[in-house]
């Protein structure tokens, strides 16, 4: 299977809708928060620093697209569907590579987040949620899925850092509560990754630091692969549909107002 390296490109327009919500498509928390507590020689810290530029770029994309995605339930459902499909591949690879010490260290965190995605997608999309989720997959998502399905053990660990880190570092109950206020009919179970998020974040950092200390010769590859998966994350975020009925109506209304203003201005120039 050939390996494709998708690169993030431009951005899209924004909307005045709510901005201060990060959910599954967020890569993780702010750069300073991500690296807080990372010791010198920390693999966790090195991986965070490695993805910093991609994370910064991803934050810009999210800031522009997220307000539009949050205007409609269907858009939100299609957005999280992308990350369900990606995480489904990741968790299959974690299962496939079990017995490998690197992978088992990640597995020891006890993270299994696809059931939460399933619950949310069923609530948002209905009984045929799986068919709809697959149909919503963008070309960027399918390219990323192909990369995940071909992963070796080191790549599986690096992908876990990105896809799990989005929910462990950047998610939690507070994010869940914010999204629930916007879409109240859904329980947003995808954010139920742990009861004690502070402890889980500490365990997440310790897990990757432990890998770095046990396998110093793999540090460079793990940092490099985390950076690559962050870039793939950004291509998916960029590809997510964010223009729905609400945005269309808003655009039509704005166009109508602009046309009315133009006609009024032109009439003022007429001599009668």
pLDDT score recorded for residue 53:
66
pLDDT score recorded for residue 63:
59
Which pTM value belongs to this model? Answer: 0.76
Tokens describing residue 58: 């991803």
> With 80 as the cut, is the pLDDT of residue 110 above it?
yes
Q: pLDDT digits over 27-36, tens only?
A: 443 444 444 4
DSSP string, 220-260: HHHHHHHHHHHHHHHHHHHHS----HHHHHHHHHHHHHHHH
HSE-up of residue 173 (Cα within 13 Å, Cβ side): 6
Q: How many CB atoms lie within 10 A of CB 116?
A: 22
The model's confidence at residue 59, banded by pLDDT at 50, 70 and 90, is low
Distance from C-alpha of 263 to C-alpha of 118, rounded to nearest angstrom: 51
Percent of the chain with pLDDT over 70: 69
Distance from C-alpha of 267 to C-alpha of 272, rounded to nearest angstrom: 9
Tell me the range of 40-49, 86-95, 185-194 where mean pLDDT is highest: 86-95
Distance from C-alpha of 134 to C-alpha of 128, rounded to nearest angstrom: 10
The model's confidence at residue 258, banded by pLDDT at 50, 70 and 90, is very low
The model's confidence at residue 257, banded by pLDDT at 50, 70 and 90, is very low
Q: pLDDT digits over 126-181, tens only?
A: 999 999 999 999 999 999 999 999 999 999 999 999 999 999 998 888 889 999 99
pLDDT score recorded for residue 266:
37
The model's confidence at residue 87, banded by pLDDT at 50, 70 and 90, is very high
């Amino acid at each position: 299977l050939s390996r494709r390296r998708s690169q993030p490109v431009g951005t899209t327009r924004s909307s005045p809708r709510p901005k201060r919500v990060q959910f599954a498509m967020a890569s993780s928390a702010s750069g300073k928060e991500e690296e807080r507590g990372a010791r010198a020689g920390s693999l966790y810290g090195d991986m965070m620093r490695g993805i910093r530029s991609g994370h910064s770029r991803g934050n810009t994309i999210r800031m522009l697209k997220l307000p539009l995605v949050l205007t409609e339930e269907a858009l939100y459902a299609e957005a999280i569907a992308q990350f369900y499909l990606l995480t489904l591949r990741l968790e299959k690879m974690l299962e496939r590579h079990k017995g490998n010490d690197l992978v088992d260290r990640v597995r020891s965190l006890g993270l299994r987040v696809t059931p939460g995605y399933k619950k949310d997608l069923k609530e948002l999309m209905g009984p045929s949620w799986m068919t709809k989720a697959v149909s919503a997959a963008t070309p960027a998502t399918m390219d990323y899925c192909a990369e995940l399905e071909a992963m070796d053990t080191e790549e599986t660990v690096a992908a876990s850092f990105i896809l799990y880190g989005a929910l462990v570092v950047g998610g939690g109950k507070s994010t869940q509560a914010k999204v629930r206020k916007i879409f109240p009919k859904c329980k947003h179970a995808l954010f139920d990754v742990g009861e004690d998020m502070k402890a889980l974040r500490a365990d997440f950092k310790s897990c990757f630091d432990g890998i770095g200390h046990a396998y110093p010769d793999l540090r460079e590859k793990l940092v490099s692969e985390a950076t690559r998966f962050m870039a793939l994350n950004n291509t998916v975020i960029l590809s997510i549909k964010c223009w729905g009925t609400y945005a269309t109506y808003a655009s039509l209304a704005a166009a109508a107002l602009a046309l009315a203003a133009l006609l009024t201005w032109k009439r003022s120039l007429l001599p009668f």
